[in-house]
Amino acid sequence: MKKIVFVVASFLLATASMQAQDFRLQPTPQEYVFQNDSVAIPQTYRLHAGNSVSGQPSLSLLKSLLPGETSTADFQIYVGTKTDKEMKKYRKRIPEKADGYFLKIEKNRIVVAGADERGAYYGLQTLAQLLTRNQLPQIEVADYPDVPYRGVVEGFYGTPWSHEARMDQLDFYGRNKMNIYIYGPKDDPYHRTPHWRTPYPAQEGERIKQLVNRAKQNEVIFYWAIHPGGDIHWNEEDRDLLLKKFESMYQLGVRGFAVFFDDISGEGTKADKQVELLNYIDEHFVQAKEGVAPLIVCPTIYNQAWVKDDGYLTTLGDKLNEDIQVMWTGDKVVTTINNATLDFVNPLLKRKAFIWWNYPVSDYVTDHLLMGPVYGNEQNIQDKVSAFVSNPMEHAEASKIALYGVADYTWNMNQYDSNASWQYALRSLMPVHTEELEVFAMHNADPGPSGLTFRRDESVAIQPALATLADTYRNKQDINATAYRQVSEECERIIRSADILLASSNENPALIKEIKPWLLQFKLVGEYGKEVLNLINLPAQKEAFVQSYEHARALQVLMHEVDSTYNRSSYYPGIKSGATHLMPTFNALFETATQRYNIQYNESLDEQSIFPPKENVKK
């Protein structure tokens, strides 16, 4: 059944001071109705809280948003779940869905009624967004998520997130109604070989305990994953050591556990042995402990392209305990998720797939940033998945651009608008310099050529002008004046945006620190493009051409230096910016212009662009 969003237009006109045209609720609610009036934000209120939320994060959130609780106030706030007597009047309005809630704002009261405690918390997160306006709208919201479990798996290769970044991420998940975080960075030695059998040192264990507590405050299930398959022995000793490791994590407060068998070979890949171990863990640990979430496994065969006729997935489907969740990346390692892959895998697994979406992860192209919109996943798969988690970049703050989209998509697929969600993310990360961040992000979105074949749109708005300019110049036609002007203006925007963002570290220090090398490269790309445009416009001016040529060559050298200095990752070192459309066009124009100059004046200027060095171009 199609979900409907109601908005009364007169409300928008009546409350222009709220800047409603720039405001959206995140993630997009299933149903909401604005009335024709607004309410002043209460300075004091009388709280009516149900027993179900006593001591829970929802009340802490409310008191942080509105500290003016008093027993004598006229304004009333009701918070609880459908089991509380305070919510009896509203029970029929509460969605019968886990994490669902009903929110109503009236002249003299606010009601936040959850289907469960997490639902009440999410209702208050929606209220928190409304409280950022000058006045509260009179509104009714009936809301719930399409996907039961939504969030992030920190499962990439490369530098793991810092403790501070993880703490910030957990707050971000709470605000955006994401309810699961899976800790599984490949380069944590205590997560996999060589130390998966060994408990964390005390200091690192204390940090995990802090993460668990922060997750609880944000109604996020903290999962800790172990990756034993690289050197596991299928015997009681290793089984008991794994359970001992889980017990040490349980003592730190962890109540969600996962076992990863991905990206391994040899003995660890045996389906029957994996099943035997997983069922034992499920029966003797997960089900034996109080309050532990369902066990999750990442199988060795985790995408459709790798499936063979060896019965691996069938063994998992037939023999795994039915409550164990099985992860799946789609029809390839990195791809978008569609009905076809779910129709393929769900019957084999005999359960709904737990989606591990490999975006915006960039460990296979660490020289690129992936900061474009989230699009391509089919918007009617909600009934075929048990969960949907995103594997992000090692750049935690920059990953939020995509994670906003993932949160929005998994909450309300039918109403999901990738571009609107992307614009919201940009505004949220850099509210003062949103325009400059958009210029940067639109040219830093595509992973480029790689063995995984996954591509994203990049430089979309300027692509036609780039193509027209390149085609007409290559074919010795008159330079297209409109295309030339558009590309020139875009180069100016690139230079200006890079400078402004580099100088705006106080607005979002974490983001600018992460992307600074790419900003330095981005500015050089704009300057190079501007100089190349000069070259193609100076064929009859020999001295001016040579000066412009020398500057362009100098910029190529500087780009190479940035590429050779920053991001010395052992996977794919370097810094690429605007690499899909901007740089290929500028390089082609440079080479053609230099060839024509050499022919015209019988000179021998080096015609080949030197950035990126050809030996570093991935096939």
343 CB burial (10 A radius; 0-12, 13-18, 19+): exposed
**Taking the CB of residue 279, how many other CB atoms lie within 10 A of it?**
15
- Which amino acid appears at position 103 of this protein? L
Separation between Cα atoms, residue 110 and residue 428, nearest integer Å: 26
Report the length, in residues, of the chain. Answer: 619
In this structure, are strands 149-154 and 385-390 parallel, antiparallel, or unpaired?
Answer: parallel
Separation between Cα atoms, residue 148 and residue 385, nearest integer Å: 9
CB 324 within 8 A of CB 296: yes
Separation between Cα atoms, residue 156 and residue 231, nearest integer Å: 20
Separation between Cα atoms, residue 127 and residue 54, nearest integer Å: 19
CA distance between the termini of the chain: 46
H or E stretch including 509? helix 509-536
Q: Sign of the C-alpha dihedral, residues 35, 37, 38, 39? A: negative
Under DSSP, the state recorded for 368 is S
CB 45 within 8 A of CB 160: no
- Alpha-helical runs (H) found in 289-372: 312-319, 339-349
Hey, which residues does 49 pair with through a beta bridge?
A: 79
Under DSSP, the state recorded for 503 is T
**Taking the CB of residue 331, how many other CB atoms lie within 10 A of it?**
18
Q: 3-state secondary structure string, 458-525? A: CCCCCHHHHHHHHHHHHCCCCCCHHHHHHHHHHHHHHHHHHHHHHCCCCCCHHHHHHHHHHHHHHHHH
* Integer CA distances (angstroms), 434 to 91, 497, 535, in order: 41, 10, 32
**Three-class DSSP category at 213:** helix
Under DSSP, the state recorded for 192 is B
Question: Is residue 263 annotated as part of the catalytic site, yes or no?
Answer: yes
Hey, which residues does 240 pair with through a beta bridge?
A: none
Hey, which residues does 149 pair with through a beta bridge?
A: 387
Q: Which of 263, 417, 457, 499 is catalytic?
A: 263
Separation between Cα atoms, residue 553 and residue 72, nearest integer Å: 74
**Taking the CB of residue 565, how many other CB atoms lie within 10 A of it?**
13
Q: Rg of the chain over CA atoms, in angstroms?
A: 27
**Taking the CB of residue 571, how many other CB atoms lie within 10 A of it?**
15
CB 570 within 8 A of CB 363: no
**Taking the CB of residue 451, how many other CB atoms lie within 10 A of it?**
10
Separation between Cα atoms, residue 473 and residue 533, nearest integer Å: 11
Separation between Cα atoms, residue 48 and residue 187, nearest integer Å: 48
Q: Active-site residues: which are they?
A: 263
